[in-house]
Structures are given as C-alpha cells and as structure tokens.
Structure 1
Amino acid sequence: MAVRMTAYWKKNIVRHWQLYAIVSVPVAFLIIFNYVPLLGIQLAFKEFNPVQGIWGSPWVGGKQFAMFFESPFFWPIIKNTLLLSVYSLFIGAPAAILLALAMNEVGNQRFKKVVQMFTYAPYFISTVVLVGIINIVLSPSTGLYGQLTGLVGITDPIDILGDPSAFSSLFVWSAVWQETGYGAVVYLAALSGVNPELYEAARIDGATRLKKIFHIDLPAIRPTIIILFIMAIGGLLSVGFEKVFLLQNIMNLSTSEVISTYVYKIGLVHMNYSFAVAVGVFNSVIGFVLIFIANFLARKYSDSSLF
C-alpha cells in the first residue's frame, strides 16, 4: 500500500510539476521565515551568551519568566497593553461596521465611490508619516494646535503629546481615522452578498431603514464580525510597535509603555535577549489561549467560529 501511494505521488508530481514549482516558493518562504525562527524560542529558557551561541548557552529553565513576573514593570505594561487593545477593539470595530452599513444605504454610486476613496485613502499613509502629521498638528509650540490656542490668548496650552491621560485616545482615534475605511471593505464585501429580494420584501412590508439594518444587514455580516472579533481577541497583547514607539516620549511613558516596546528596549537596547524572548513567548502563549477561549464561546453561543 505504501509503495503504491509513493508511486502515485511521484507520478502526480511529475505530471503537475509546474503547479508544485509555483507552490514551492511560498511554502519555502513560510518555512524559512515562520518555522525555522521557532528554534530561537529556546532562548527563553537559556542564559544567552553570544560567544557560546544559541545552542551552547546554558539552560536556566523558567528563570527568565520568573524575572518578568516579579518585575515592577509587569503589571503596568500589561495594563497599558490591555487598555490600548480593548480601547482599539471596542472603538475601531464598531466604527468600521457603522461606516459599512452607512455606505451600503447610499443609493448614489458615484457619491458612494468618492466617500469610499476618501475613507480608504488614509490606510496607505505610513505609520511614520501619520505620527509626523500628529506631531505637526498637535505641537503646543509650532503646530496648528499651538497656533490656534495662541490666537485665542492661551499662552501655555496643554501638551497633548506629553499628557499620559491623552495617549490612549490619541493612539486609538488616529487609528480610527486611518483604518476605518479599510476595515469597512470587509463588511461591504459581506453586505454585497445579501439577496436583494430581502430588501424588496422588507420595503413591501413597510420596514424602515433601521429595521432593515437590524434584521437583514447585521445578521448577514454577523459571521464576519465574529471571525474578526476572535482574531482581534488573540491579538489583545500584541499592540502595534511602530506607532506606540513613535508617539512615546518621556512624559507619557507611564501609559505608553506596552509589551512590544518593552521587549524592544530590553532585547535590543539592553541586549538581554533571553529575557526579551521570554516576554515574547509569554505574549504568544496568552494570545494562543485567548483565541481558543474566544472561539469556544463563539461556537457555543453562535453559529459561527474560526475553527
């Protein structure tokens, strides 16, 4: 049986070698850049020595994890990370859904395309440029915000960029402006699959626009909402590094220090590679567990789940 299967596979590969050649490139990319680096996870359980290398460094077990859990920075960075993630999730996702529902109700196709273009365009702005725009606009001395406050007689305006309490809102609402149009595309694609006869029947029955949204549109995109929500739950501790790091300064550090920036500083700046890898492994394990929990709850209380 095994010999027959081997012969079958050889014959199949020879017959369709072009397809296998095409697939081999992304598969090789996936293995080299996603699976081979997993060997570096062992650094989390070692005391890395650059001279001895990854394989020769001594094992220390869970020492690095214990150091992280006992660190005075543990709870502050966990709290900051969760705050930014949950804030982003419960503001960004509804914003994309509302935009998609509103655009789906627009009858003028030309106006709809113009609105979609203007809401989608900010997604192509790089994070560095976005943070530069924020700094230019909100600078209390030379920015638009400083100039406007000066015109009304305020000589010492609040430094929004340095205010710890303003960091999370600044991070989240700038992301809403940049990413809502892109997020709405997924829901618009789901709404495009709704049977037009449902809208015709609802109009004949005298349903208002709100009733059509609640009884036709939302049920149609509910599976998409659940899948994206599960994936977002898995990334609760994975706040984007670039934007946080670029908006971060010494004044707002108490609320802007998250796991990703902490790992960068510990691993690359202070060159404590083992400790940084341990923190990264902790982050990944928690995200993995959260995905399973969210998927279990979604499967239990709805008809949609990721797996």
Structure 2
Amino acid sequence: MATDLAPPPTEASRKAKKQKAPRVPLGAAILRYRWLYLMLLPGLAYFVIFKYLPMYGLTIAFQDFVPFLGYSGSEWVGLKHFETLFAGGDFGMLFSNTMILAMLIFLIAFPMPIIVALMLNELRINVVKRSVQSLIYIPHFLSWTIVAGLTYILFSVDFGVIANWIHSVVGGGKVDYVAQADWFRPIIILQTVWKGTGWGTIIYLAALASVNTELYEAARMDGAGRWRQFWHVTLPAIRPTIVLMAILHSGHLLDQSFEQLWLLTNSLNREVANVFDTYTYYVGITQGGYSYATAVGLFKGTVGVLLIFGCNWLAKRLGQRGLF
C-alpha cells in the first residue's frame, strides 16, 4: 500500500543541511542591494555628522577650555571638573531632584501608555477607537512652550481656570500652583502624562495588533473570561515590548526635558526645579563654564550607558528578551 510519509533523513542529508551557504563577496552584495544601501546613506550621514563627530568635543571636559585657543591650545586639567562636580555642594541637590523626578515619571508616566493601549484594545467600536486615538495623539505635536502657556492659563493664581474652580470648591486663600515648589513636580508629571501618553500608545497598540487571535479563541473555549484572557494572553504578548521600552527608558533616567522644566522654573521653585539639564545650561551658557558643563553632560551620558547595560543584563537574568 502506498504511503505519503517521507523517508527518514539520512546522515548525508543532515550534513548537507548543516553546510553553510556559500559566502557572497562584499562588493557583489553591495551591488545587488545597492538601492537599499543608497536609502541607508542619509540616516547614516545624519548619525555620523550630528551624533558621532561632535563627540570629539567631549575632550573639553578634561580641559580648561578657552574658545579663542581651541581644543589644541586649551590647558589639560584631567579630572579636575569631575572632582569639582562630585565635591561641590550642588551635586547632592541636583542628583536628588533629578532622581525624584525620574522615579515619579517612571512610576506614573511610563505605565500610562500601556494602560491606555490596553483600554483602547478592548474597544469594539472602531469609530470610537480611532476617534479617541486621534484625540490623544494631538498633544504630542504641541511644543513645550505652548504646553507651558496652557499650564499658566489653567493654574495661574490670577486668571487660572482650574485654579479658580478649585478655590471656589475648596475655599480658603488662592494658591499659586505654578509658583509654589510643592506643586512643581505634580504639574510636571501632569504635563508629561498629557503630552506623551497618546503618542506612546502607538508601540503598544502595534504589539497588541500582532497577537494571534487563535489564542483568544482557545482561551474562550477553555472557559476563560475577559479578565483571564487579558491576564494570560494579552499581557504575556506585550511583555517583551514593555521590557524593551523599560530598558530604553532607563538610559534617559538622568535626562529630563530641558524646555519643559526651564519654562516653569522661577525663583520660588528653583530648589526643586534645578536638575542636571537646567544646571548644565545655567553653568555652561550663562556663566561660560563650557568645560564644567561638558563634564556634567559626560557624567550623565556615562550613567545612562551603564543603566542600559545593567537593565539589559537584569532582563535576561529574569528570563526576558533583552535589547541586545
């Protein structure tokens, strides 16, 4: 009786499969995919010109840089500026302000796109879903100057709409939310969530769209409700994306939006508003301390790189797929 079963693989066939494909010469590969390499050139040129070549300027962190003398004529001072940074009285204040704000953003603003994406994924009316998506995307395209202006309009003590409404409900004296130090961080978090949540949902919605629908059907056949499907199908499907975004976010832990903070900083809230980014601008631009400001920036960059490698190692140790 004839059978459709394929014969078992022989030793020769196994060896043939293990043999590597012949290597194509580099010139032939470039010629074959020349249009792809041509499209790669603008992006490559951007990174080389604006990202890698300027890194030579980091050398001034080890000099007493004088613009008129240039890189070669300025005096080398080694780690002098780093010693000044770590031994100075401002480092503790800058580090604590930066870390507190970074932790608040990570704990509150980072999960918001995930939560909103999961909520949008549960909507079954496409018109409503697309309308909500379009509305929450809009704040991303507004500059921080406009966002700061809206903040003053809403929370100013004189003509703030929300400030006056809170005063009418709670009573008591009026509160100047945009000037008091106690309200600086909540306002920054509120701005960050409002401006970035909608745009951040794009990545997670794309991850949710790639989930195999047969998994939901199998879960329903096993008697799983909406909550069980969410917990055992949806969340595991987007967990690699969440881990990847968390690793990338860790590299910017000491980076805060300079424009956002600077536009809301004043003499009354400067004690909590002064972070590494604003301090670098103040020291480097307004006071002309180019070398010292570069040392501060190099410290931030080094910490960011170490955090990325550390979080990537931790993710792999926990059984997740890392960044590299």
Same fold (TM over 0.5): yes
- Is the contact made by 1:49 and 1:57 (CA closer than 8 Å) also made in structure 2? yes
1:30 equivalent in alignment to 2:58 = no
State, as a whole percentage, how many aligned pairs show the same letter: 37
2:283 is aligned with what amino acid? I
Q: Which has the higher helix share?
A: 1
User: Which structure 1 segments of 5+ residues have no match?
Assistant: none
Q: Tell me what 2:161 maps to.
A: 144
The partner residue of 2:112 within 63, 73, 95 is 95
Cα deviation, residue 152, structure 1:
6.1
Per-residue CA shift, 1:58-115, capped at 9, x if unaligned? 1000000011111111011111111111111111122111111111111111111111
2:245 is aligned with what amino acid? L
Q: Tell me what 2:145 maps to.
A: 128
Give distance in 1, aligned partners of 2:247 and 2:279: 25
Return 205-214 or 84-93, whichever deviates more: 205-214
Cα deviation, residue 302, structure 1:
2.0
Per-residue CA shift, 1:158-205, capped at 9, x if unaligned? 111111121111101221111111111111110111111111122222
Shift of the 165–61 alpha-carbon distance from structure 1 to 2, 3 Å rule, reads same
The partner residue of 2:296 within 273, 279, 286 is 279
Q: Give the secondary structure class of the aligned counterpart of 1:211.
A: helix
Q: Tell me what 1:40 maps to.
A: 57
Shift of the 150–199 alpha-carbon distance from structure 1 to 2, 3 Å rule, reads closer
Q: Give the secondary structure class of the aligned counterpart of 1:97.
A: helix
- Is the contact made by 2:316 and 2:322 (CA closer than 8 Å) also made in structure 1? yes
Give distance in 2, aligned partners of 1:303 and 1:154: 51
Q: Tell me what 1:175 maps to.
A: 192
1:79 equivalent in alignment to 2:79 = no
1:202 equivalent in alignment to 2:219 = yes
Shift of the 201–57 alpha-carbon distance from structure 1 to 2, 3 Å rule, reads same
Shift of the 279–109 alpha-carbon distance from structure 1 to 2, 3 Å rule, reads same
User: TM-score scaled to structure 1, two decimals?
Assistant: 0.92
Shift of the 306–153 alpha-carbon distance from structure 1 to 2, 3 Å rule, reads closer
1:160 equivalent in alignment to 2:177 = yes
Give distance in 1, aligned partners of 2:102 and 2:170: 37
1:112 equivalent in alignment to 2:129 = yes
Aligned-CA RMSD value: 2.1
Give distance in 2, aligned partners of 1:153 and 1:298: 46
Per-residue CA shift, 1:118-177, capped at 9, x if unaligned? 122211111110111001111101221354356569574111111112111110122111
2:159 is aligned with what amino acid? T
Give distance in 2, aligned partners of 1:16 and 1:305: 30
Q: Tell me what 1:217 maps to.
A: 234
The partner residue of 2:314 within 269, 293, 297 is 297
The partner residue of 1:188 within 202, 205, 215 is 205
1:199 is aligned with what amino acid? Y
- Is the contact made by 1:100 and 1:184 (CA closer than 8 Å) also made in structure 2? yes
Give distance in 1, aligned partners of 2:72 and 2:270: 36
User: TM-score scaled to structure 2, two decimals?
Assistant: 0.88
Q: Give the secondary structure class of the aligned counterpart of 2:178.
A: helix
The partner residue of 1:232 within 239, 243, 249 is 249
* Structure with greater contact order relative to length (CA < 8 Å, sep ≥ 6): 1
1:161 is aligned with what amino acid? V
Cα deviation, residue 54, structure 1:
1.7
- Is the contact made by 1:149 and 1:155 (CA closer than 8 Å) also made in structure 2? no
1:244 is aligned with what amino acid? L
Cα deviation, residue 47, structure 1:
0.3
Give distance in 1, aligned partners of 2:119 and 2:81: 50
Q: Tell me what 2:11 maps to.
A: none
Q: Tell me what 1:306 maps to.
A: 323
Give distance in 2, aligned partners of 1:149 and 1:109: 36
The partner residue of 2:283 within 246, 266, 273 is 266
- Is the contact made by 1:45 and 1:274 (CA closer than 8 Å) also made in structure 2? yes
- Is the contact made by 2:140 and 2:195 (CA closer than 8 Å) also made in structure 1? yes
Give distance in 1, aligned partners of 2:252 and 2:170: 45
- Is the contact made by 1:47 and 1:57 (CA closer than 8 Å) also made in structure 2? yes
Return 239-248 or 148-157, whichever deviates more: 148-157
Give distance in 1, aligned partners of 2:138 and 2:85: 41
Per-residue CA shift, 1:218-274, capped at 9, x if unaligned? 100000000000111111101111101111111111111010000000000000000
